[in-house]
Amino acid sequence: MKYRFCGNSGLQLPLVSLGLWHNFGDVDDFSLATDMILRAFEQGITHFDLANNYGPSPGSAETNFGKILHSHLKAHRDEMVVSSKAGYPMWSGPYGDGGSRKYLMASIDQSLKRTGLDYFDIFYTHRYDAQTPLEETIQALIDIVKQGKALYIGLSRYPADKARQAYEMMDAQHVRCLIFQDKYNLLYRAPEAELMPLNATMGKGFIVFSPLAQGVLTNRYLNGIPENSRVAKSHGFLKKTDITPEVLAKVQKLNELAQKRGQTLAEMSLAWLLNKKEVTSVIVGASSVKQLQDNIDTIQNIDFAAEELQRIDLLLRGPDSNR
């Protein structure tokens, strides 16, 4: 595994991080989840990304990760970066969603209890909540660090102008925001316009989720929708309407380019992200140990010729380039 410093900080993250959004909940195979987490750590993945609502059911991914950590990796806690988040609906009533101090403080306490951890290395505000004053959300995060419940703060899915304000608020109280997490992949390049330049200028790390567009940027959908795919799962987030003929046409052409590079479509898609100096790490999901290993092997070839990058950009231009 190779590592990059996270913005202007002393913390290094692996190029490939493991996300527990899918396949680690109580509806999934616990033995397989254990095998994937252990393989990830053996291969140098030191960063594990969670959120309070990951599962399903909500909270179960944190619970399962905690069980696996304490059963197999407890002695290695200080060799890991464990992150979690709060911001999306977690429990019923007016206090289980958003960016209020009430919700964030309650949520991190619940997440620490589920995982059995004393602190999170990174704790994110999972989304911008326009109904809550930004000052309230950011002050709660600052206090979370000062209380020792998290070492670093991250933002996820914030507009660029609100992210800048949040960074300035934290800097004023000497609690620097470490990292920004957002969706970014070959089919969705919106962060390039404002967020990535902002984070680079302000010395923040940038970590990518959905680097394979929930599996669309793999060979799984080149010939239809397989039964065990995310689209086929009733509790999945990827829908059939996401895989339009226009998207499939682009994916098939990207696959041809990947084959010329001697890579799978997934490997090339991850390599394209890691080729960018602004990207600190990519968060991959996995449904098998083999799939995880294939993603890890991507780091062996993340270089592109200028002509290859030009061909990819030309191919992706069009009405669906920001899907």
Question: Do residues 52 and 110 make contact, with C-beta atoms less than 8 angstroms apart?
Answer: yes
Tens digits of per-residue pLDDT, 230-258?
555 555 556 666 678 888 889 999 999 99
Residue 157 inside a domain? The answer is: yes
| Residue 312: other Cβ atoms inside 10 A | 18
Q: Which amino acid is at 81?
A: V
C-alpha span between 155 and 180 (Å, rounded): 5
Q: Are strands 150-156 and 120-125 parallel, antiparallel or unpaired?
A: parallel
Q: Which residue range is the domain that position 301 belongs to? A: 11-316
Q: What is the mean pLDDT of the chain?
A: 94
Residue 1 inside a domain? The answer is: no
**CATH label of the domain that carries residue 54:** 3.20.20.100
Residue 2 inside a domain? The answer is: no
Residue 6 inside a domain? The answer is: no
Q: Name the H helices within the chain.
A: 30-42, 60-72, 101-115, 134-146, 160-172, 195-201, 245-261, 265-274, 289-297, 306-316
Residue 322 inside a domain? The answer is: no
- What pLDDT, on the 0 to 100 scale, is given for residue 60? 98
Q: Are strands 120-125 and 81-86 parallel, antiparallel or unpaired?
A: parallel
**22: three-class secondary structure by DSSP:** coil
Tens digits of per-residue pLDDT, 11-42?
999 999 999 999 999 999 999 999 999 999 99
Residue 216 inside a domain? The answer is: yes
Residue 138 has pLDDT above 50, yes or no: yes
C-alpha span between 91 and 89 (Å, rounded): 6
| ∠ CA 38-73-299, rounded to 5° | 40
Q: Tell me the residue length of the chain.
A: 323
Q: What are phi and psi of 140, to 5 degrees?
A: -60, -40
C-alpha span between 210 and 233 (Å, rounded): 17
Residue 93 inside a domain? The answer is: yes
Domain count of the fold of the chain = 1
**37: three-class secondary structure by DSSP:** helix
Residue 171 inside a domain? The answer is: yes
| Residue 178: other Cβ atoms inside 10 A | 27
Structure confidence at residue 322 as a pLDDT band (50, 70, 90): very low
C-alpha span between 144 and 160 (Å, rounded): 23
- What pLDDT, on the 0 to 100 scale, is given for residue 241? 65
Residue 163 has pLDDT above 80, yes or no: yes
Residue 188 has pLDDT above 60, yes or no: yes
pLDDT, mean of residues 208-234: 78
